[in-house]
């Protein structure tokens, strides 16, 4: 159980670059805790300063700057800019959805100028403002200690160990978040398959009610289940929802890392592939299977128009 060092917290002042869905709410949660936050985002009216340089200028050293911009080029460019603008003794926390393998490059670039680095995986989505954000961080003991008041302000209430972890050296935070997201893919797909199977049988008359009944006392109760209950209350047959499902980098990286470490991940990969397939109007694989069946089977032709006929017939 931790006791938050509130005096130190109140004295804190930080910079926050990126005021998108995540950063905007994080600024608000930090402010509620008494932290002074200077937020900057070139695309957002509510920026507190007009540029990264102005942000750096306004913060008294030693500074802490939290970076919360999209992974890839935007994060890379922000880190590069900060490596020039900040001073030795400052500290950067990279809280975006970067691949863990990027962290070592970011840390090196900053370290060359005497600037510290922490990578931080942040979970919580739009619910984080109220519920708090779960934080997985990588970096040195010294840097993590220094930023702890921020982590305590952002994380959910309750024991520190239940919403925060210093997972290891640089990269370990994003690695942990990556695996978290990989698991998330598997969990969502498991619920989704169960939902589809309930929908497929006539025996079960009220699928949303069955799923809601799993909310308490069952083995499958979870926050994701609660969200599914909510979604089904909004739209009991999900008729307004498309099956077209995006995937983020973390799911892919999880499977790549599994392959690199020879770890079998049949469930996480199946969930990832289901998303790939959801975005295909037609599957080239299945065209090949269908073509093979035509070749050997004299199977009733499944040329596109014939298939269309069958779909139409089935719809009647």
- Is 218 a binding residue for a copy of itself by CB under 8 A? The answer is yes
- Distance of alpha carbon 260 from alpha carbon 258, whole angstroms: 5
According to DSSP, the β-strands at 116-123 and 134-138 are antiparallel
Q: Binding to a copy of itself (CB under 8 A): which residues in 175-214?
A: 175-176, 179-201, 203-206, 209-210, 212-214
Size of the site for a copy of itself (CB under 8 A): 146
Kind plus residue range of the DSSP H or E element containing 129 = helix 128-131
Contact with a copy of itself (CB under 8 A) among 23, 41, 172, 250: 172
Task: State the burial class of residue 134 (Cβ atoms within 10 Å of its Cβ: 0-12, 13-18, 19+).
Answer: buried
Q: Which stretch binds a copy of itself (CB under 8 A): 1-9, 48-56, 71-79, 229-237?
A: 229-237
Distances 32 to 65, 67, 120, 214 between C-alpha atoms, Å: 18, 19, 21, 35
Residue 129 neighbours by CB distance under 10 Å: 17
Q: By C-alpha distance, which of 253, 97, 286, 267 is closest to 192? A: 267
Nearer Cβ to a copy of itself (54/188): 188
- Is 46 a binding residue for a copy of itself by CB under 8 A? The answer is no
Nearer Cβ to a copy of itself (37/265): 265
Which of 102, 184, 250, 257 is an active site residue? Answer: 184
Q: Binding to a copy of itself (CB under 8 A): which residues in 4-43?
A: 21
294: Cβ–Cβ under 8 A, 6 or more apart, which residues?
A: 301, 302, 303
Which of 94, 102, 177, 250 is an active site residue? Answer: 177
Nearer Cβ to a copy of itself (45/282): 282
- Give DSSP secondary structure letters for 148-197: HHHHHHHSPSS-GGGTEEEEESTTHHHHHHHHHHHHHHHHHHHHHHHHHH
**Residue matched to tokens 């073509």:** 291
Q: Which stretch binds a copy of itself (CB under 8 A): 26-34, 62-70, 84-92, 158-166?
A: 158-166
Task: State the burial class of residue 94 (Cβ atoms within 10 Å of its Cβ: 0-12, 13-18, 19+).
Answer: buried
Q: Binding to a copy of itself (CB under 8 A): which residues in 72-101?
A: 100
Spatial contact of 248 and 99, defined as CB atoms under 8 Å apart: no
Contact with a copy of itself (CB under 8 A) among 115, 153, 171, 250: 171
As a whole number of Å, the end-to-end CA separation of the chain is: 62
Is there a catalytic annotation at residue 21? no
Q: How far is the CB of 144 from a copy of itself (least distance, A)?
A: 12
Nearer Cβ to a copy of itself (63/155): 155
Nearer Cβ to a copy of itself (11/277): 277
Contact with a copy of itself (CB under 8 A) among 138, 147, 149, 152: 138
Q: How far is the CB of 50 from a copy of itself (least distance, A)?
A: 27
Q: Which stretch binds a copy of itself (CB under 8 A): 43-51, 60-68, 108-116, 163-171?
A: 163-171
Contact with a copy of itself (CB under 8 A) among 52, 136, 144, 147: 136
Q: By C-alpha distance, which of 57, 55, 48, 64 is closest to 8? A: 64
Is there a catalytic annotation at residue 184? yes
Q: Which stretch binds a copy of itself (CB under 8 A): 26-34, 52-60, 89-97, 257-265?
A: 257-265
- Is 286 a binding residue for a copy of itself by CB under 8 A? The answer is yes
Q: How far is the CB of 199 from a copy of itself (least distance, A)?
A: 5
């Amino acid at each position: 159980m931790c006791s938050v060092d509130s005096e130190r917290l109140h004295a804190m002042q930080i910079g926050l670059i990126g005021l998108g869905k995540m950063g905007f709410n994080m600024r608000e949660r930090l402010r509620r805790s008494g932290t002074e936050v200077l937020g900057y985002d070139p695309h957002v009216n509510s920026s507190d300063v007009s540029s990264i340089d102005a942000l750096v200028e306004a913060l008294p050293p030693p500074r802490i700057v939290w970076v919360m911009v999209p992974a890839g080029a935007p994060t890379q460019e922000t880190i590069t800019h900060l490596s020039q603008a900040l001073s030795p003794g400052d500290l950067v926390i990279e809280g975006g959805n970067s691949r863990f393998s990027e962290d070592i490059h970011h840390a090196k670039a900053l370290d060359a100028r005497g600037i510290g680095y922490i990578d931080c995986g942040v979970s919580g989505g739009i619910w984080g403002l109220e519920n708090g954000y779960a934080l997985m961080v990588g970096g040195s003991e010294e840097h993590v200690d220094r930023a702890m008041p921020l982590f305590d302000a952002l994380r959910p209430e309750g024991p520190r160990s239940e919403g925060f972890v210093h997972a290891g050296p640089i990269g370990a935070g994003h690695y942990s978040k990556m695996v978290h997201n990989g698991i998330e893919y598997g969990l969502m797909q498991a619920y989704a398959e169960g939902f589809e199977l309930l929908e497929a049988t006539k025996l079960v008359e009220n699928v949303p009610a069955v799923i809601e009944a799993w909310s308490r006392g069952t083995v499958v109760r979870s926050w994701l289940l609660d969200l599914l209950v909510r979604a089904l209350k909004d739209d009991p047959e999900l008729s307004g929802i498309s099956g077209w499902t995006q995937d983020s980098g973390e799911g892919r990286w999880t499977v790549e890392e599994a392959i690199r470490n020879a770890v079998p991940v049949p469930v996480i990969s199946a969930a990832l592939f289901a998303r790939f397939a959801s975005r295909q109007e037609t599957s080239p694989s299945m065209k090949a299977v269908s073509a093979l069946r035509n070749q050997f089977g004299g199977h009733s032709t499944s040329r596109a128009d014939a298939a269309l006929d069958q779909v139409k017939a089935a719809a009647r």
